[in-house]
Amino acid sequence: MSLNNFIPQVWSARLLENLNKNHVFVGLCNRNYEGKIKGYGDQVKINSIGRVTIGDYEKNTDINAPETLTDAQRILLINQGKYFNFQIDDVDKAQQQPKVMDEAMKEASYALADVCDQYIASFYTEAVAANCIGSDTTPTSFSNATDAYNTLVKVGLKLDEANVTKAGRWIVVPAWYHALLLLDNRFVQAGTTTADNVLRNGEVGRAAGFTIYVSNNVAATGESKDTFKIMAGYEQTISFAEQIVEVEAYRPEKRFSDAVKGLHVYGAKVVRPETLAVLTVERPNSLI
């Protein structure tokens, strides 16, 4: 028995399922346009309507003529393409024990998801200046749990001042930041009601108006990689679309094995940069 009975559609669906389980940053994105893409280089045009003017009403007085609404268009470009390509010897045994293939596909999906998350984490550069706390030259610095929690409040204030809805707010912190938060009773108490759910896709609780996620893919800058770009936003801040466009089984010409390769294409865009906040913070030398 060989991989002749391999069904690409089945494995494509399984691969996407595994990707979703491993996403952190991508899982926080708006996925409304996903069904519109078919391959690398595709474009999704996202339209938005401008603000509506509100006027004062006076009795027995004509109101103004109807205004012409303005619109804006953003392009979500599917400009990222990644592939996997692996082989398995002793195909008969692999087919008799399908867990071997399943585990290999899970590993491929994890690797693809990790690359995706790093891509989304790099979007910290898209935040408007008014929503940034700290910078590469003057990062925020602290060494205790109280300051770590209070800084979350400051990030929330940035979004409040930008008129960002409180519903669906998220923030992604590195593991060391979460460790500090665990030492603050305000965070621990806020998280007790969701303790049973901790831990879907890196979620570790709620505090300061945010659902908090932990990821090792939070962007780190500087020569020593000890300055972190913590991103915060809400569910409509970033749009993301992906597709597994090809999954193919084949026989390598110079090997007695069967191989599987797949192509994953995706793209993302900060469609509401005014709702993205970034905290540039330096990791303390000592956490406790």
Phi, psi of 129 (to 5 degrees): -55, -35
Please answer whether residues 24 and 117 qualify as being in contact, where contact means their C-beta atoms are separated by less than 8 angstroms.
Answer: yes
- Residues 33 and 38: their CA atoms lie apart, in Å, by 11
Determine the 3-state secondary structure of 4 from DSSP. Answer: helix
CA-based end-to-end distance of the chain? 58
SS3 111: helix
At 1 the pLDDT is 42
- Render pLDDT for 75-96 as a digit per residue (tens, 0 to 9): 888 999 999 998 887 655 555 5
Which of the given ranges, 48-57, 182-191, 230-239, has the highest pLDDT on average?
Answer: 230-239
Q: What is the amino acid identity at position 27?
A: G
Average of per-residue pLDDT across 117-128: 96
pLDDT in tens, 240-260: 999 888 888 888 888 888 888
Partnered with residue 241 across adjacent β-strands are: 267
Question: What does the alpha-carbon distance between residue 149 and residue 68 come to, in Å, rounded to a whole number?
Answer: 46
Which range is least confidently modeled, 193-197, 201-205, 244-248? 193-197
Inter-residue contact 69 to 50 (CB < 8 Å): yes
Report d(CA 19, CA 15) in Å as an integer: 6
Cβ pair 120, 240 in contact under 8 A: yes
Ramachandran area for residue 187 (φ above 0: left; ψ -120 to 50: alpha; else beta): alpha
Helix (H, G, I), strand (E, B) or coil at 256: coil
Structural domain spans, the chain:
3-51+69-122+238-272, 130-237+274-282
Q: Is the pTM of this model over 0.85?
A: no
Cα–Cα dist 261/253, whole Å: 15
**What CATH topology corresponds to 130-237+274-282?**
hypothetical protein PF0899 fold (3.30.2320)
Question: What is the secondary structure of 34-81 as a DSSP string?
Answer: GGG--STT-EEEEEEE-PPP-----TT-PPPPPPPPPEEEEEEE--EE
Which of 37 and 57 is assigned the larger pLDDT?
57
Quick count: other Cβ atoms within 10 Å of Cβ 207?
Answer: 21
